[in-house]
Copies of this chain bind each other. A is one copy, B any other.
Amino acid sequence: MAGGDYDSPQTSPSLEKQFEKFRVQLEDSGSLRERIRAVVLEIESATRLMQASLLLVHQSKPIPEVLQKANSQINVLKGLYNKLAEVVRECPGQYYRYHGDWRSETQMVVSLLAFMHWLETGNLLMHTEAEEKLGLNNSDFALDLEDYLVGVCFMSNEMPRYVVNQVTAGDYDCPRKVLKFLTDLHAAFRMLNLRNDFLRKKFDSMKYDLRRVEEVYYDVKIRGLATTGDSVGDQGAQKI
């Protein structure tokens, strides 16, 4: 019969019983989210400190100085990611269920680490290197590849500003270096089939960074300033 014996005593109780179970489950995942959120907030503020000291590089403060202060935050972050991993580890196989809760913060962390690594070595921070720095080289709590790639794109967005400020400070060789680096990076990205729309958009922005740096390099060249990287203002380069 339509609607069946909907008045039968057992229906509502079973309904209540099920939703009581749901209530507990949702509370659990909810409080887990809260704990994740708490750690992510700490990660965010450590990142802010790191970024604050790193920004001084645009005022062409000596790079070693800048890096020393910024590096001091890496271990803090490593500890926090370790903490985060422990929380997430409580519900095995659900890394990607909560992934969105630390995603953007992690992309920012990667972008800063990659920029610092480039200042130090002139090379791209590899995925595995980033994982090591953050203690994420585990099977169960790793650094998502797309987060790493987005972070690298964010780093590239910082490059044009850095080049402009370095040239202003008299480091006329910087554009060439950055251009070489960004060109390789851009070509490498081009090999990837980016189905992730967000990542694809971020990558597209890299093309504009590249063009901007090319224009700066062009200006320096056409004025015959690029012949030598040694100049009074070239502190950054000298000190390293």
Contacts and interface: CB of A to CB of B under 8 A. Distances in A.
Contacts of A5: 122
A102 interface: no
Interface string A58-85: 1100010000000000000000000000
A127 B26 CA distance: 14
Given A22-B149, A55-B186, A190-B51, A211 B161 contact: yes
Contacts of A63: 2
A165 B210 CA distance: 11
Contacts of A192: 19, 22-23, 26, 48
B174 A3 contact: yes
A151 B181 CA distance: 29
Contacts of A187: 52-53, 55-56
A236 B1 CA distance: 8
B237 A1 contact: yes
Interface in A1-58: 1-7, 11-12, 14-16, 18-20, 22-23, 25-27, 30, 33, 44-45, 48-49, 51-53, 55-56, 58
Nearest to A172: B222
- Of the candidates A22, A53, A93, A189, the one having the most CB atoms from chain B within 10 angstroms of its own CB is A22
Interface in A177-226: 177-178, 180-181, 183-195, 211, 214-223, 225-226
A2 B236 contact: yes
Number of copies of this protein chain within its complex:
4
A197 to B, nearest CB: 13
Interface of A: 1-7, 11-12, 14-16, 18-20, 22-23, 25-27, 30, 33, 44-45, 48-49, 51-53, 55-56, 58-59, 63, 92-97, 99, 118-124, 126-127, 140, 145, 149, 161, 164-168, 171, 174, 177-178, 180-181, 183-195, 211, 214-223, 225-227, 232-233, 236-237, 240
23 contacts: A2-B177, A3-B118, A3-B119, A4-B118, A4-B123, A6-B123, A6-B181, A11-B122, A11-B123, A15-B123, A18-B127, A19-B191, A19-B192, A23-B192, A33-B195, A45-B193, A48-B190, A55-B183, A55-B187, A56-B187, A93-B93, A222-B223, A226-B233
